[in-house]
Structure 1
Amino acid sequence: MAHAAAAQDLNILTWEGYAPETITRPFAEASGCNITASYVGSNDDFAAKLAAGGGVYDIITPSSDTVPLLSQAGFVDPIDPAAVENYAGIYPEFSQSPALNLDGITWAVPLIWGSVSLIYRPDMVPGTPDSIAVLFDPAYAGKISMWDDKSAIYWAARYLGYENIFDLTDEQLEAVKAKLIEQKPLVRKYWASAGELTELMANQEVYVSNAWTGLTFKEVNGLNKGFTVAEFNPKEKSEGWMDSMMLVKGTPNQECAMKFISYMQSAEGQCALAASTGYFPVNPGAVAACMDEATKKERQVGNIDFVKSLVMWQQPARLDKYIEVWNAVKAAP
């Protein structure tokens, strides 16, 4: 794969909020490697952008459920854990995940984790909502939003009471598709990024949505618009995710890439990323000195049991079918 990047330039394909100056500037000063970041709105974007060629990326940061697809497709190179500083400090539940380690080969290094919960306007949604049902309530027609991602299937499936949400039958998928199409007239917009959802909430276009826990909540309330938003975990459970770093196949910038992967396990990297996003660090020891006890509790530091309370993302057994269903929902009138 031909790479356009210069030897000391590191091009990262990542998520919004993952490459703030609080990370890129000190890393460049310490390593001599300058970072340029491009952003995705969905895990499906990683394979699409790598398949398009051009060789412009060195590191990608997909969620763990997407790691097997990317490794099997030949888009990435293996990573030697011994070359990653402070690798032993990562929660073993993440670093030893089968999704990241196939046939004894490590394909990804954990970066950050979190949940996808529900966000709403308490002044516009009466009572205290406790269910996914709020996303399907006609009372909020035109004020509902959802992430533009196949995971909408997971939300509708849980709402319908299905437990095997990553391996739905054809009949169950048809029911999910019908429910999402039925919901569509209630939806103001499917959001593509946390920034877009923040804008929709801040402009009072949306009162309720699923959201990456912490980020939109922090951003909207920080704008002081005269109202606040709140988050909650529905009784049908929130979703959980863990994003990891992978080396794009054939990168000529492997030295810089490995320096960055190690940097993101350091106190500087983990603390800055958690501060930028509001998400949860994967390396609890690294954030010991930068968070007070209240913040540690909020960010689930040391509370790996919280993972067990979530529906952690997995690659669907029939990924193509799920993508087909979600595209059918979006194409429906």
Structure 2
Amino acid sequence: MRSKFLACSAFLLAASASTAMAEETLNVLTWEGYTDPSFITQFEEESGCKVNATYVGSNDDFAPKLTAGGGVYDLIIPSIDTTKLMIDLDFVEPLDTSKIAGWDDIYPKFRALDGIQKDGEYYGMPYAWGAIAFMYRDDAFATPPTSIADLWREDLKGKISLWDDKSAIYVAARKNGDMNIYELTDEQIAKAQEALAEQKPLVRKYWATAGELVDLYKAGEVVISNTWAGYQSSLLADEGIKVTEFIPTEGAEGWMDSWMVVKGTPNKDCAYKFLNMQLSELGQCGVANVNGYSASNAAAAKSCMTPEQFAALHQDDPDYLDSLLMWAPLGDRFEVYTNAWNAVKAQ
């Protein structure tokens, strides 16, 4: 009997230890670069919290993955056009901003956005921001492209790529002259869908990840596309591939990503340690150096960036966002946009 008791006790202790260890692991649903070892390793060593990252290639990935098993994740980081959906679907919980050092140093423009708050409470912590610019290989163009329409050029057939995301509807709508891209009518969405269907035979591949687009450019299979400004171009520069980013005459979208705590996470202590790190100099310059994105905490950015980097990332000019078509929640139109894009791909 005593041996059975000891065996049972050992099993329970092992199970408890296993649970404790599991609770020290943060599972995050995130974008490439946001948990890069260059700064996450230091966080893990100092906090005792291990970070396990699952990557998304589109904001359209968050809802299906959380629906399939929300308890798998502790933190997510959707963009501002998707954060409201996460709140409305009850996937995330309100933040205790008193536990986040540097909260008051976040750009007021970002803290004021409706997409990260509800009923007087914040659900999202702004982290990084930038533009969805366009990009081309320098050696493929005698005359630099300037318009979205260049992604519909017959002479570039098989050399064009577009992000595999519902934002393709935004791109096609602007090409059609419809600038109210987050409030498109059914007719305007149908027109955008038609334009994308016309473009499809010209497309080499719809890119899903930063690495995939970089490989397409490196191989010379793609010479023009849209891009996460600052990121893929820097990766290509490291490979010796000369590319140029540009804002087309029809304008570019702006985005802002926010960390959100998944409702009911058992790892809340580590989650808040992680949020504080991401808003500190370590996390803010981490994402700027890895992804080339702008940071949301101006004070942290100024203390860890060179003056040249600070200016290049528009950290001293948050009104730069006013020149962009900042992503906005689509509300009950989310499914309409997503279905329209999926219908194009299914053709």
Matched, 1:229 2:281: no
**Residue 311 of structure 1: CA displacement?**
0.5
Q: Residue 297 of structure 1 corresponds to which residue in structure 2?
A: 311
AA matched with 1:210: N
Structure-2 change in CA distance of 1:4 and 1:70 (3 Å): farther
Q: Residue 165 of structure 1 corresponds to which residue in structure 2?
A: 181
Unaligned runs of 5+ in 2: 1-18
Q: Residue 39 of structure 2 corresponds to which residue in structure 1?
A: 23
**Distance in 2 between the 1:278 and 1:164 partners?**
28
Superposed, which structure 2 residues align to 1:55-74 within 5 Å? 55-74=71-90
AA matched with 2:273: K
Query: What is the TM-score of this pair, normalised by structure 2?
Result: 0.92
Matched, 1:323 2:347: no
Superposed, which structure 2 residues align to 1:243-322 within 5 Å? 243-317=257-331, 318-322=333-337
**Residue 54 of structure 1: CA displacement?**
6.0
**Residue 38 of structure 1: CA displacement?**
0.7
**Residue 315 of structure 1: CA displacement?**
2.0
Superposed, which structure 2 residues align to 1:91-106 within 5 Å? 91-106=107-122
1:14-72 CA-partner distances (Å, limit 9, x unpaired): 00111111221111122111111110001011111110016211000000111110111
Q: Contact 1:145–1:191 at 8 Å: present in 2 too?
A: yes
Unaligned runs of 5+ in 1: none
User: Cα RMSD over matched residues?
Assistant: 1.4
Residue among 162, 170, 176 paired with 1:154: 170
Structure-2 change in CA distance of 1:174 and 1:88 (3 Å): same
**Distance in 2 between the 1:201 and 1:286 partners?**
34
Q: Contact 2:254–2:326 at 8 Å: present in 1 too?
A: yes
AA matched with 1:326: W
1:153-179 CA-partner distances (Å, limit 9, x unpaired): 000001110021111112111111110
Larger CA deviation: 151-160 vs 90-99 = 90-99
1:222-249 CA-partner distances (Å, limit 9, x unpaired): 112xx41110011111111000000011
Q: Contact 1:4–1:55 at 8 Å: present in 2 too?
A: no
**Distance in 2 between the 1:325 and 1:162 partners?**
16
Q: What percent of counterpart residues are identical? A: 47
For these two proteins, the number of residue pairs brought into alignment is 328
**Distance in 1 between the 2:47 and 2:114 partners?**
32
1:77 is paired with a residue whose SS is: coil
1:290-333 CA-partner distances (Å, limit 9, x unpaired): 2222211211112111100000111224111111110110011x
**Distance in 2 between the 1:150 and 1:63 partners?**
13
Moved over 3 A (4+): none
**Distance in 2 between the 1:39 and 1:4 partners?**
25
**Distance in 1 between the 2:153 and 2:59 partners?**
28
AA matched with 2:251: K
Q: Residue 125 of structure 1 corresponds to which residue in structure 2?
A: 141
**Residue 100 of structure 1: CA displacement?**
0.7
**Residue 221 of structure 1: CA displacement?**
1.4
Q: Contact 1:4–1:56 at 8 Å: present in 2 too?
A: no
The higher radius of gyration belongs to 2
1:195-219 CA-partner distances (Å, limit 9, x unpaired): 1000000111000000000111000
Matched, 1:202 2:213: no
**Distance in 2 between the 1:123 and 1:54 partners?**
46
Q: Contact 1:113–1:279 at 8 Å: present in 2 too?
A: yes
**Residue 4 of structure 1: CA displacement?**
11
Q: Contact 1:281–1:301 at 8 Å: present in 2 too?
A: yes
Q: Contact 1:4–1:54 at 8 Å: present in 2 too?
A: no
Query: What is the TM-score of this pair, normalised by structure 1?
Result: 0.96
**Residue 82 of structure 1: CA displacement?**
1.3
Q: Contact 1:198–1:219 at 8 Å: present in 2 too?
A: yes
